[in-house]
Amino acid sequence: MIAAHRRRHRWMMALLALLLPLLVALALVARPAAPENAALPAGAAVFPDDRR
């Protein structure tokens, strides 16, 4: 029945409308900070971060 189909469609849309933004937000919040060191050991071959 089309009415049932539309109801299923709307429930699916509602789920996506709720879950997808939540997933994106969680994924962004969960991103780990780039690990950094206070200093690098003497004797290491140090070079500037070439990603900046």
C-alpha triplet 19, 8, 14: angle, nearest 5°: 25
Please report whether residue 21 would count as binding another protein according to CB under 8 A: yes
Please report whether residue 11 would count as binding another protein according to CB under 8 A: no
Burial 3-32 (b: 16+ CB within 10 A, else e): eeeeeeeeeeeeeeeeeeeeeeeeeeeeee
CB of 29 vs another protein, minimal distance in Å: 6
Please report whether residue 17 would count as binding another protein according to CB under 8 A: yes
Contact positions vs another protein (CB under 8 A): 1-3, 5-6, 9-10, 12-13, 16-17, 19-21, 23-24, 26-52
